[in-house]
Amino acid sequence: SGYASYTPHKYFNFRLGYGKNFFGDGYRSMLLSDNAYNYPYLCVTTSFWKVKYVNLFAMMDDIRGSNGNPSQFKRKYISMHFLNWNISRRVSLGIFESIVWQAKDTLLNRQFDVNYLNPFIFYRPVEYSLGSSDNALMGLNLKVKITDNYLLYGQALIDEFLLSQIKADSGWWANKYAFQIGAKLLEPLKIKNLQIQTEFNTARPFTYSHGATLQNYAHYNAPLAHPLGANFKESVTFIRFSLKKFQFENQTNFSVYGTDSSALSYGGNVYQSYNNRAQDYHNFTGQGLKNDLFFNKFTASWVLVPEVNLRLFISHT
């Protein structure tokens, strides 16, 4: 991985690279995380006043059925916008959107669609003007600094939804959304050198998936957001404490997620077409074959060379 960065003006930065990107303030990201494999990308960042605006264009691959032969990989492209506004010294709000389209299908060899080079946010009108059925996602990112030591953060992502179906509480399959809420505590209860981070993540069944599986929100057989894909609930907590050259960290994960128990999709695997769904109504998070996951990892480390963060550690999982 690596990148070349160029800043021609204090307002603009251009970064051309091969690697990963991450949007958000949490351990996970429901918008774009570093869960999947590296990919080539161009990132254009514009900063002015209290605003930071990111245009990210990436080229990704679906490797299913290729037997590891790169010439058989199926190409797709993603364009993303992330606009972050520092409303005040303690509050910032981000608006996110992305569009996924396949390079070619049975009718057309589109490759990179120059219409999506549009630098302005809100792709949906562009998509409609093209008459396409590309995969569009929209989301919000919020960060609130309660005090200098207490931070709240969260995300909300919408894939598809119909307000009348949400009000009816019908469990309609196309009410696809995800959200995150979390907190970072620095020296809580005035305990020096103690840090705590805890967050809750969830995604409804079929979120991030698409009728055409080449347009799902994934790359190299891995979801681009949460590693569990969709149809899950998860809590993650980190407790970190340092004492001179010693550092201790404990990570605890609890997850409930549903996997497919038949040839039909219950919405957890983003590589399954949502056209293969088991039912239209009465869908709920964790449906299908229910899985309960508990993960705990404790690590103790001793810093040998602080200048390069060289350390000796022992860990138990």
| Mean pLDDT in residue range 83-93 | 97
Asked if residue 211 has pLDDT above 70, the reply is yes
Query: For 234-262, what is the mean pLDDT?
Result: 96
Tell me what pLDDT residue 115 has.
72
Band of residue 108 on the pLDDT scale cut at 50, 70, 90: low
pLDDT at 104: 78
In this prediction, residue 109 has a pLDDT band, given cuts at 50, 70 and 90, of low
> Residue 1's pLDDT is what?
96
Average pLDDT, the chain: 93
Q: How far is CA 72 from the centre of its chain?
A: 27
pLDDT, position 160: 87
Q: What is the DSSP letter of 33?
A: -
Which pLDDT value is given to residue 89?
A: 95
By CB neighbour count within 10 A (0-12 exposed, 13-18 middle, 19+ buried), where does 254 fall? Answer: middle
Mean pLDDT of 107-113: 69
The span from the CA of 238 to the CA of 288, in Å, is: 30
Q: By C-alpha distance, which of 200, 207, 199 is closest to 285?
A: 207
Rounded average pLDDT over 189-214? 96
225, 78 contact by CB (below 8 A): no
Q: What are phi and psi of 134, to 5 degrees?
A: -65, 160
